[in-house]
Amino acid sequence: MPESARLEETELRLATRLVRGGVRRTGHQETSEGLFLTSGYVYASAEEAEAAFVTDGLRYVYSRFANPTVKIFEEKLRLVEGAEACRAVASGMAAVAAALLCQLRAGDRVVASRALFGSCWWIIAELLPRYGIATEFVAGENLDAWRAALAKPTKAVFVETPSNPTMTLVDLAELAKLTRAAGAALIVDNVFATPLLQRPLELGADIVVYSATKHIDGQGRCLGGAVLGSASFIDTVLGPYLRHTGPALSPFNAWTLLKGLETLDVRLERHNASALRLARFLEDHPRVRKVYYPFLDSHPQAALARRQMRAGGSIVSFEIKGGKAAAFRFLDALSLIDISNNLGDAKSLVTHPWTTTHARIAPEEKLAQGITEELVRLSVGLEDPEDLEADLGRALNA
């Protein structure tokens, strides 16, 4: 019996699954997981090769299809998410594109929340329509808007919650009911919350996608992504798409990411506590107009946040009084926190979404999503929060 099956049966807690899940040792009985940097595999006989091509999943055949190190990462994440199946891919965007394209065809219709990561927005607004797929965006927080949009035949629903960068939430339990009634598949981009803070499948979602580049790696080293869902979807719908289009995760990246999972729980504890503390500090600062953080009482969906999430996460967005000039002055005055468009790193990172991550989105659309020239996104890292607070205070007063 595979070790991972035993683990699932014992119902070990998530932090334990992060450390122990998916581990398969080779004959050397190594403590840390083996790194199989190999593209191919050999056969003892022509008959063995023939058999491998008759029955899928019998053994490793080619690393575009499967690889032992990638498999450990997939098993670990699957056990933590509580999903039937998981496939890892080369980046978060490969995961989003694959989760959508593997099940859509011309004539289908997709409904998505408006506040999305820039490239997810591009796939839904620009790419899908090229292939004859109709798409519509709705305000994610508005259940009546979802009801209206889902009255028309719909194949898939795509949401990100909390959203980047304005931390708008989608009520996943309610949306899952509406999506199910419409006969559509609900896909949740769970990057900001991670599997530890939000459980989309338990709330009724069908598919969860991750950029493992963010908190799962957590130290800014490797790109990666994953798609999780039912065994039938992953094996029969997503599987052939991945096998033949090839967005395979490098075994080296898989190894780095599975080591990242081992420490995810302890890192998130610090991320969450520091982010909440800094969100409160920013809210009290006279130069700050507004703070967006799900676990602040001032968040318009604070009650939903507490119901749906275990903590607020590592991202705090805020508006600095004085327009783009004030936002730029603040960024340039920081001495510890780095300017970067990335997030979910051990190092605290700050971004001006208007001019970087969301630069290609039309100004009217940005404003409709609540993104202003005053808005700054802070990814709170693992430094001592006192030092971070001091850096923010100095830069705000500059």
Return residues touching ligand PLP (CB under 6 A): 91-93, 96, 117, 120, 160, 164, 189, 191, 211, 213-214, 223, 225
- Alpha-carbon torsion, ordered 305, 308, 309, 312, to 10 deg: -10
CB of 211 to ligand PLP, least distance (A): 3
CB of 194 to ligand PLP, least distance (A): 11
Q: Which is nearer to ligand PLP, 230 or 342 (CB)?
A: 342
Q: Which is nearer to ligand PLP, 155 or 214 (CB)?
A: 214
CB of 397 to ligand PLP, least distance (A): 30
Q: Which is nearer to ligand PLP, 4 or 301 (CB)?
A: 301
Q: Which is nearer to ligand PLP, 289 or 347 (CB)?
A: 347
- How many of the other CB atoms lie within 10 Å of CB of 257? 30
Q: What are phi and psi of 341, to 5 degrees?
A: -85, -5
Q: Which is nearer to ligand PLP, 38 or 342 (CB)?
A: 342
- Contact of 198 with 191, CB cutoff 8 Å: no
CB of 213 to ligand PLP, least distance (A): 4
357-371 in b/e form (b: 16+ CB < 10 A) is bbeebeeeebeebbb
Q: Which is nearer to ligand PLP, 7 or 229 (CB)?
A: 229
CA distance 160 to 350: 20
DSSP secondary structure string, 34-72? P----SB---SSHHHHHHHHHSTTSS--BTTT--HHHHH
Among the listed residues 94, 112, 346, the one whose alpha carbon sits nearest the alpha carbon of residue 210: 94
Task: Tell me the one-letter amino acid at 319.
Answer: E
| Residue 364 Cα distances to 139, 294, 355, 372, angstroms | 15, 25, 14, 10
The answer for residues whose C-beta is within 8 angstroms of residue 185's C-beta and 6 or more apart is: 103, 155, 156, 157, 179, 206, 207, 233
Residue nearest to ligand PLP (CB): 92
Angle at 375 between CA 372 and CA 379, to 5 degrees: 145
CB of 212 to ligand PLP, least distance (A): 7
- How many of the other CB atoms lie within 10 Å of CB of 233? 21
CB of 357 to ligand PLP, least distance (A): 9
> Residue 318 has which token pair?
């805020």
CB of 344 to ligand PLP, least distance (A): 8
Q: Which is nearer to ligand PLP, 92 or 200 (CB)?
A: 92
CB of 338 to ligand PLP, least distance (A): 17
Q: Which is nearer to ligand PLP, 117 or 255 (CB)?
A: 117
Among the listed residues 360, 361, 353, 358, the one whose alpha carbon sits nearest the alpha carbon of residue 328: 353
